[in-house]
Structure 1
Amino acid sequence: MATQKPQSVTKKKTTKKRKKLTLKQKVRLYTWLFRITLFLLFISLGFLIYSFNTTKTIPEIQYIELECETIPERDIYIPTIKTPKEEIPKQPIVKNIPKPKLAIIIDDVASSYETKNILKSSKSITPSFFPKNSDHPNTPELSTKFKTYMIHLPLEANSNFTSQEAGVLKVGDPISKIDNTIKNILASFPDLKYVNNHTGSVYSSDYNSMYKLLSVLKRYNLKYLDSKTISSTKASIVAKDLNMNILVRDVFIDNILDKNIIKKQLKKAVNIAKEKGSAIAIGHPKKITLQTIKESASLFKDVELVLIHELYN
């Protein structure tokens, strides 16, 4: 069995065999290394030139035609665009403004002759009849010829007025007498609704007398028109105290029986109606008065001639 030599001894021997290269050997070695490197460079360069000169064929792309499912045709909603129309400015609404109202009352009516003349003059005149008595027996019958009429109730006048009517109411009369007077009138004129006073300068000026009269009229649902025969009349004051609506005369048209003056008074009544919205004119059944009213149609073009009930309404 051979004995193993220690490794340290062998290493020492190998190291001793390595010799350093001489300068000549180094030059020779480097020369070969340079040649080998240069050879490798030429080979690499040639390969690159060859690869650039050769054209590569690009494979043709094959397109596959796909069958698509046919989509059924459908109606397509296309909204209609409305072109804006040229706006036409709206005409202002002209409201029919009611004309001022004028009521003409003809007092002291008692005969068929007067009745006929009133109807010939205008259908928009309201007659006021005397109550039925021995002097005026036909007034109830005459009143039926009119749609609207009044009773011309006699009231006490001053001492200068001598021709007083029968059955006149006087200051100091008890309310029972006034009540009986109105009852008798209603018996003759069952459809009566409106009353105005004949004369009455004394009676109308007395508060207590007017209070009793208007209280009775209110009880029977009768409307009162104050003829206003005197400026000191208490009718409006009493009516307010009784919570009662009454009407008041604005113009007397024929205190003077002259056509020009009557026209002037009618024009005054028209102007009052324009100012207040309504007016009441009182005249009498004189031929000249009724004829002037008939001829004055042009005066009434700006007002509406109405019967007295239209002013109460």
Structure 2
Amino acid sequence: MARTGPQKYPGASTAYWYGGKYPGSAMESNVVVWHTTEGTSLPSYSGGAEAPNLTAKPDFTAKRLVWYQHFDFDVSARALVNKAGGVETNTLNACQVEIVGTCDPATHAKWTKVGYAHLYTPELPDWAIRDLAAFTKWANANHGVPLTSSVTFKAYPGSYGDNGVRMSASKWTGFTGHCGHQHVPENDHGDPGQFPMAAILNAAKGGTTPAQEDDMPTAAEVAKEVLTYDGVIVVPGAPKTNPTWTLSSSVTEILKRLDAANKTLAAQSAAITAIAGQLGKNVDTAAVVAAVDKAIADAVIKVDVAVTGQES
């Protein structure tokens, strides 16, 4: 079957191109099947044996998706199960797109707890919806993939297996538009879970992405940014390999030094008070100055000893 239209998505990297190793079948794709990789990095796809047509990987710093293309748009990919004697899956006019991230709330919770930046499909940020919509719009304009989806995207893990939304063979054969791995017959996967398909299609049609509030940073995240931003706070005496030390050690050290400064100030105040008490009396001025200097020096020495831990 002839392939029409541009086969490479503009800007997509072909650094992991598998079309030469797995030529695939030519087709005219009128379906996009969405997947999640359930990981935080670009998969190896078993050297291409299980690869989709494209992978979208988040760049959280730039707030954009970085695209990798593995097969032409109108060539069968390899990310679906295709059982012998059943309906065709990979080769039935379906372009497949993997999103690096997770649809599993348990995985999302685990990654969040350990601080892994990741995409979670039920809560995609506006910039991810924007870039997925841009691809969806391109697929419509250049390959006629309808900006429609007549299926329900169920939340994982309810979307796994016999989920009530998986298509019959006949429905799959006649399907056009956008669906997920959870909808394809002969497969049991539940990705991409509760995928914001309606928001993506709306944006692709020229609408706006739904307004979302920015996630509030945690106290630890705020403190870390303050402690490490352009060396604003660099702890004296910290190892050269880590001039700001760890967050906890930096805060502890700062508190110690504030305490030391308060003690020094107290010593100075006491000395000044002593001077004030001598006003109007016959005193040796030089002796008073020397006494003040000694009092301040003694206070500083005591503070330094306490900070460095040389004495209890």
In the superposition, the TM-score normalised over structure 1's length comes to 0.23
**In terms of Rg, which structure is larger?**
1
TM-score by length of 2: 0.23
Report 1 or 2 for greater relative contact order, CA contacts < 8 Å, sequence distance ≥ 6: 1
